[in-house]
Amino acid sequence: MFDLKAYLKVKQQAVNTALRKLWDDTEPYPSLLVQAMRYSLEAGGKRMRPILCIAATEAVGASEADVMPAACALELIHTYSLIHDDLPAMDDDYLRRGKPTCHKAFNEAAAILAGDALQTAAFEVLADARQHQGGDPLKWLEVVHLIARAAGYSGMVQGQMIDISSEGKGITLEELEMLHRLKTGALIEASVRAGAILGGGNFHEVAALGAYGRHIGLAFQVADDILNVEGTPEILGKPVGSDRDLQKATFPSLMGLQKAKLHARELIDTALGELRIFGKKGKPLAALGRYIVERKR
């Protein structure tokens, strides 16, 4: 029986250690900017994207150390997107993971700039030549491209733009699914693909893991919508029903709660099917997939 809880704990610690090391050289007097960046980076994220990246690289037979810069970069990009999503001009959220959002803890300008600099830092980490001694620079360039595509105007940022533009407007289930495939799905898929590519996976392995990532990415959002209906503020770290307050379309609101749960389950089953070719090495990814729909926060 694979112990996911222990796996997550070990990997979270490894990722957190690597993330902390990024700013060791600016200690003991970090600038206000770096303080704001670290505030959000260390606010208790689950490190889901880095762990997916690491688990994917392990599935193709490589190890954590081979992909750690990519794992860190993915978390930096995810954190920047959360800071900007929470801004007054966007979702105007004041709590994130049970703590004041970056613009509440600092100020709006600092939050915009902390997000900007976290995004830049992601690409700085990916391209840091010291990390690549012995590695294949062409693969790292491919991963820079992959992550940039997933994070930008044809991925995450496009999804956020559609999301805020569609508030209060009726959208269809197909439009909602497209929105989330862009807003969260693209970066999750890129996380898995990056791990597979850097780990030396062959064409079929990268394709299978890409498909796995695409399905769990959407399942993650469906599960998130369900949690936003069923959770409590203590567990969620944010007000329950905040999506509803903004008149946002969600999977439960468009499909009904039971059908949304079924949809999440089906997506995960399809994702797990892609893992067959990896045998035992796919176990962490399978457990992560199941966790995504079964988690309580």
Cβ(100)–Cβ(237) below 8 Å: no
Residue-level length of the chain: 297
Q: Which residue has the tokens 């468009």?
A: 254
Q: Is the dihedral of CA 164, 165, 166, 167 positive or negative?
A: positive
Question: Least distance (Å) from a copy of itself to the CB of residue 103?
Answer: 8
- Angle, vertex CA 257, rays to CA 99 and CA 255, nearest 5: 115
Question: Least distance (Å) from a copy of itself to the CB of residue 107?
Answer: 8
Here the tokens at position 163 are 């999301």
DSSP state of 201: -
Question: Least distance (Å) from a copy of itself to the CB of residue 268?
Answer: 29
Q: Which is nearer to a copy of itself, 87 or 95 (CB)?
A: 87
Q: Which is nearer to a copy of itself, 167 or 294 (CB)?
A: 167
Q: Which is nearer to a copy of itself, 163 or 177 (CB)?
A: 163
Q: Taking each helix axis from N to C terminus, what angle separates 4-21 and 64-85, rounded to the nearest 10 degrees?
A: 80
Q: Which is nearer to a copy of itself, 90 or 235 (CB)?
A: 90
DSSP state of 100: E
Question: Least distance (Å) from a copy of itself to the CB of residue 156?
Answer: 8
Q: Binding residues for a copy of itself, per CB under 8 A?
A: 31-34, 37, 80, 84, 87, 89-90, 107-110, 112-113, 115-117, 119-121, 123-124, 126-129, 132, 137-138, 140-142, 144-145, 148-149, 151-153, 157-158, 160-162, 164-165
Question: Least distance (Å) from a copy of itself to the CB of residue 224?
Answer: 21
